[in-house]
Amino acid sequence: MCELMGMSANVPTDICFSFSGLMQRGGRTGPHCDGWGVAFYEGKGVRCFHDPAPCHSSAIAQLIERYPIKSENVICHIRQANVGRVSLANTHPFTRELWGQYWTFAHNGQINDFTAGPGPFQPVGSTDSEAIFCELLNRLRSRYAQQPDQQDILACLTEACAEFAARGVCNILLSNGQWLFTLCTTKLSWITRRAPFGPAQLSDVELVVDFQEHTTPNDVVTVVATEPLTSNEQWQPYAPGEWRLWQGGETLQQGNVLA
């Protein structure tokens, strides 16, 4: 399976620390060596980096590790291929434009024989993940010609995710730059860092950061990951079927598609 990492923050924040841990799992401490990608939202724009090479040895990943790109919403993915060959076209996260916004998506899991229904959004690559993304966008676009309110979007997303969860493993990160939608069917955890900040120790590499030196008392930063990235902090596991909508590092809404 692949691994996911997302971030929601109330101030532009870099993910250098968390990414340093995740990239080790891309072929060094983990088997996820079939490509990686990351998307940073900056205002209405999104800055994306992809590489079908193993993350731990990727020169592009090393740039991201050292370059403090600041964002309020980030989606990252390291791939262990199970559907679709190793290629740039099959590397998450995937991005499409809808209602004048860039939507970005990453998926962990597998739904056999999944294809996107009719609509303007169709996969470029050959993964079930990209087909799931296109299906979500096609449903939103066919239901709403113009961008609806957040509750309508959530209703459509959770309705679709309930169907997906019944068909297979479907852990999801999805953002339109304003919020981060997360779904767990098997494994996902989160941690929210806020004042008083303290030190954090990565699990996959000898690196400690004292966040008190890099934050203000008003900062709120939530990191979501398939597996906890630090060894000295208390991460909160999602329940099977649980979804959360994050904005500014806080949970706006939550529910369960299996309930």
**2 annotated active-site:** yes
In degrees and rounded to multiples of 5, residue 88 shows phi and psi of -65, -40
Task: Pinpoint the alpha helices (H) of 102-176.
Answer: 128-143, 150-167
- From 2, 33, 55, 170, active-site residue: 2
Element (H, E) at 181: strand 180-183
Task: Single out the residue of 176, 214, 167 nearest to residue 41, CA to CA.
Answer: 176
Distance CA 99, CA 108 (A): 26
- Residue at token pair 């996260």: 93
| First-last CA distance in the chain | 25
**Helix or strand (DSSP H, E) at 16:** helix 16-24
The residues assigned a catalytic role are 2
